[in-house]
A and B are shown apart, each in its own frame.
Chain A
Amino acid sequence: MRHYEVMVILDPDVEERAVSPLIENFLNVVRTGGGNVEKVDTWGRRRLSYEINKKSEGIYSVIDLKAEPAVVKELDRQLNLSEQVLRTKVLRPDTH
């Protein structure tokens, strides 16, 4: 099991109260895969430094989790398939 930090930028058109159920839905992959979600930190709406898919804003969320590499890979794949996700970034903080 490794410690990962996943940053997700959601579409600004997603409603504020729809954000956490949406993320929880994605995190089910981790839970069923034997991983452990430690922290979900939603920053809320924020201006992007440059436009992504013609959007100038995004809803930022940072997720701390412990899981097997394959599980995180699958999570990243599913996030990228979703229309509501602008961008994702998976990082292992302990390698830096």
Chain B
Amino acid sequence: MAKPPVRKPKKKVCVFCKDKITYVDYKDTNLLRKFISDRGKIRARRVTGNCTQHQRDVATAVKNSREVALLPYTSTAR
């Protein structure tokens, strides 16, 4: 049996902590689009590499953005 290759976990740094952004704006759809999948779902923290607080802020911003039709609840792609 071949051993599963040992993968070195690359530590990602939260983009918001790095840029010292305190308020995630729900109007900034270009930024928020990086944190949703092509189906419109919010990406998990292990994918985005955000810290706990900023992941939560992003999620709230995406949800606010959905309410005003800036982002989709679901995309009908596929």
Contact = CB atoms under 8 A, between A and B. Distances in A.
A48 B60 CA distance: 19
Contacts, number: 31
Contacts of B66: 49
B68 A96 contact: no
**Is the contact region of chain B dominated by helix, strand, or loop, or is it mixed?**
loop
B69 A49 contact: yes
A48 B66 CA distance: 10
B70 A49 contact: yes
Interface of A: 7, 9, 48-50, 52, 58, 60, 62, 87, 89, 91, 93, 96
Interface of B: 23-24, 26-27, 57, 60, 64, 66-73
